[in-house]
A and B are shown apart, each in its own frame.
Chain A
Amino acid sequence: RKEVEQDPGPFNVPEGATVAFNCTYSNSASQSFFWYRQDCRKEPKLLMSVYSSGNEDGRFTAQLNRASQYISLLIRDSKLSDSATYLCVVNPWGDKIIFGKGTRLHILP
């Protein structure tokens, strides 16, 4: 099993729709989890941290399922500006941070 695995997509979603994607991780000792957003030819930018209790930031909701070892990102009322690649990031305790290869999202007008 790969350390961090994401569906590469692309997810083609009409504007206004809700979209969700998951990321699975292999190290059960992982402590910290994040979602990053990366626009074409730009650097990754932190979108949100993922807490055990789940967290929400506007239209974005992130959740952690430790039992099944995955994190999820839900985007509601999607906007054209949400088109990007979303990177799942896992920080195992005492080891180096691991980046997923990303899920591409295209919001269609």
Chain B
Amino acid sequence: DAGITQSPRHKVTETGTPVTLRCHQTENHRYMYWYRQDPGHGLRLIHYSYGVKDTDKGEVSDGYSVSRSKTEDFLLTLESATSSQTSVYFCAIGSNEQFFGPGTRLTVL
């Protein structure tokens, strides 16, 4: 399995609070991605990175920001969490084939 970890694995927070999810990889891969997965929608791309400090938006980027200061870490921040951001968040690496982390289950009350 690709060396990808996500933290935290589970989080419950309240509306309006900031939340940061971390993705860490040991594969030294250039490309990293954040997805959310919701029933009826499948996997949707939030943001992705193609190198340190190089990031771009995906199809559902509103309300999210990302940072990548090191090759191995890709952070996803919800500046002010809303209930609509309750979801399962997956990090992935790869350019053609992608490999996923174990996911973070986020509940916003």
- In the complex the two chains form, what is the Cα distance from A44 to B43 in whole Å? 10
B64 interface hit (Cβ, 8 Å): no
Decide if B101 touches A101 in the complex (CB within 8 Å). no
Decide if A43 touches B98 in the complex (CB within 8 Å). no
- In the complex the two chains form, what is the Cα distance from A38 to B91 in whole Å? 15
Decide if A45 touches B100 in the complex (CB within 8 Å). yes
Number of A-B contacts defined by CB within 8 Å: 34
B102 interface hit (Cβ, 8 Å): yes
Residues of the A chain whose Cβ atoms lie less than 8 Å from the Cβ of B101: 43
A96 interface hit (Cβ, 8 Å): yes
Given A32-B96, A49-B97, A96-B48, also A44-B42 (CB < 8 A): no
Q: How many chain-B residues does the 8 Å CB contact rule pick out?
A: 16
A108 interface hit (Cβ, 8 Å): no
Q: From residue 66 to 94 of chain A, which have CB atoms closer than 8 A to chain B?
A: 87, 89, 91
Enumerate 22 A-B pairs (CB-CB under 8 Å) in ascending A order. A34-B97, A42-B102, A42-B103, A43-B90, A43-B100, A43-B101, A43-B103, A44-B43, A44-B100, A45-B100, A46-B97, A46-B99, A49-B97, A87-B43, A89-B98, A96-B48, A97-B45, A97-B98, A99-B42, A100-B42, A101-B41, A102-B42
Give 7 new A-B contacts, CB below 8 A, not counting A96-B45, A97-B45, A102-B42.
Answer: A43-B90, A43-B101, A43-B103, A46-B98, A96-B48, A100-B42, A101-B42
B→A interface (CB under 8 Å): 40-43, 45, 48, 58, 90, 96-103
